Amino acid sequence: MSGLPREVIKWLQSLDLSHPIKNVKRDFSNGYLVAEILAWYYPHDLQMHSFSNGTSLTARQGNWEQLERLFLKEKFDIPKELIDNTIHCKPSGAKLLIERLYTLLTLKELKYLPAKCTPDDFTDRTYQSQLPLYARATASQSIKNNLANTELATEPDYTVCSSKAQAIVDVYNKQKQNDKECYPERFSTKPKLKVSPIKDKVGAGTDGVEEISVTQSKPPNL
């Protein structure tokens, strides 16, 4: 349960969930464990037999549709983007959602829990910034890391998918420019060797660069 605060981990362990949480991003993506958590507090509103513990996109969407109805009924302030990013296993999606549920269900506060989620909360930008420059993702790798296949499957509109990919590239380019400003010596380019045009004879060119020509000899007349 790496990344979750200690008090949230203790809270989850006290609920005696059906299976241990090893990977927060993956284990909460289908909504099944979220349903188990809510069933402790709203046993008459949720029936676990109506939830699937599968990993397919269809199973995830079905489970979360039921959970969203409960959120709406109880007036839980859980943004749609937070649910979507949890479904698609985006960075910090499940973590932020579980922390928000903790505050709503236990009425306890977490000091650092953001009041509003930002797009950067669901990217690997923080992780990438901690890596040395040579180990950071390329532009194409950034798209792969931050745009899930399930996200593309649920959005058939090519224009929307292209906009998401372009937004990721824009963030990458902005970070790259910032790196160049912070580490100019890392991105300095070496001067290229000057190649002068070939002349008919050896001598100094117009720029003072020695120029050497190679004359092809004609074959002797037979």
Domain assignments of the chain as residue spans, ordered by start: 6-106, 124-187
Which segments of 139-216 are extended strands (E)? Answer: 203-204, 210-211
Amino acid making up residue 32: Y
Question: What's the rounded Cα separation, in Å, for the pair 83 and 66?
Answer: 12
Q: Give pLDDT, residue 136.
A: 82
Angle at 74 (CA atoms; ends 73, 80), nearest 5 degrees: 80
All residues at 6 or more sequence positions from 147 whose CB lies less than 8 Å from its CB, including other chains: 161, 164, 165, 168
What is the percentage of the chain residues whose pLDDT exceeds 70? 77
Residues 207-219: what's their mean pLDDT? Answer: 48
pLDDT tens digits for 35-82?
999 999 999 999 999 999 998 989 999 999 999 999 999 999 998 889
- Structure-token pair, residue 141: 């790798």
Give the side-chain half-sphere CA count within 13 A for 45.
17
Give yes or no for a contact between 123 and 91, defined as CB atoms under 8 angstroms apart.
yes
- What is the DSSP code (8-state) at residue 191? P
Distance of CA 111 to the CA centre of its chain: 25
- Tell me whether residue 115 is exposed, middle or buried, using C-beta atoms within 10 angstroms of its C-beta: 0 to 12, 13 to 18, 19 or more: exposed
Say which CATH architecture domain 6-106 belongs to.
Orthogonal Bundle (1.10)
3-state secondary structure of 101: helix
Q: Give pLDDT, residue 189.
A: 54
Amino acid making up residue 60: R
pTM for the full model? 0.67
Question: What's the rounded Cα separation, in Å, for the pair 60 and 93?
Answer: 14
pLDDT tens digits for 139-162?
888 877 777 777 777 776 778 778
Q: Considering the chain, what is the average pLDDT of its residues?
A: 80
Residue for token pair 């409960």: 70
3-state secondary structure of 185: coil
